[in-house]
Structure 1
Amino acid sequence: MRREQGQEPERDRDAEGRARNARPRDGLGRPLPYGAGGVERQPEGVVRTPERTVTEAQALLDAGKPFHAHEVFEDAWKSGPEAERALWRGLAQLAVGLTHAARGNLAGGPRLLRRGAGAVEDWAAGERRPRPYGMDLAGLAGWARELAASVERTGEAVDAREHAPRLR
């Protein structure tokens, strides 16, 4: 179908009318063709306790779905207390770094893993809380840097399930 100049293309919209891509996605969040089978998407804007956030994110990481874990962390980042936003943003960066490393983005994956590692370390130092909600932030930063170096050294994508971090 041909569009007239200046006419907006039709977009998928959610129930509230916001633009939302309705294409199914695979476990790493990549869009699939309409009508293809995909994995269930994470609902957006869910307010969870920090403990529930960590538990749900870990289950998604263990299932090889770091993109979806990133969305859980993003909800905490956007809805949580201001003092914790940098923590949740850093954890989201770690999850999306693993996503990119699993997708074969050999430059972006390591870059995001290192950015997330720095963010959680900076937050822990500033808050003097190395284990918020039982999470091992130093261990997570070490995991991220090791994985980043491995991806760069081997030049290969990783298996997200096999390389999932332990948050606690």
Structure 2
Amino acid sequence: MKNLLVLSIVSLFLSCSHNNKQSTVNYTNEDKIIDSSKKIDYEIGSNYFVKNNFNSSLIDKSYIDSKSVFDSVFGVARTMSPQSIPTEIDFSTDIVIPIILDQTNIGSTITIDSVRLIGHQLNVNYTVTEVEPISYVIQPSELIIIKKKDILDLDNLKLKFEKTTKVL
């Protein structure tokens, strides 16, 4: 009887100590990256096109921080529609991260999936959706406008682009 009482107490003690254990959570590398990264707010620049004489050497960084460089690469796409007003870009407070694809005769759109800052590296994930061939050549592009205040050290900023392609 005494042994049964001791065994019951030991069992009770072990079950209580098991319930009081702190749970541990296993993180994947992707979870750690997301936890240590900062989501960056951005705006998409609308109604601009890549000029025909575009030369990638005009952009000496992965981003554009001056109107003169921007104007050497992009022109304003104007129509009579009130929706064709180009997005305002103030280079005193903003930088532009251009995504410029090769010329193609495949209808293509670019969608920004995420922009995250990890240390000095800005990770830009985007999807290119390709549809059917068209009868002319285009140069798909997208402009990501970011506030300079969201990037602590522009001089050391590195960009990493990750592209996903979707064919419809």
- Normalising by structure 2, what TM-score? 0.25
Higher fraction of strand? 2
Structure whose alpha-carbon radius of gyration is higher: 2
Higher RCO, Cα 8 Å, sep 6+: 2
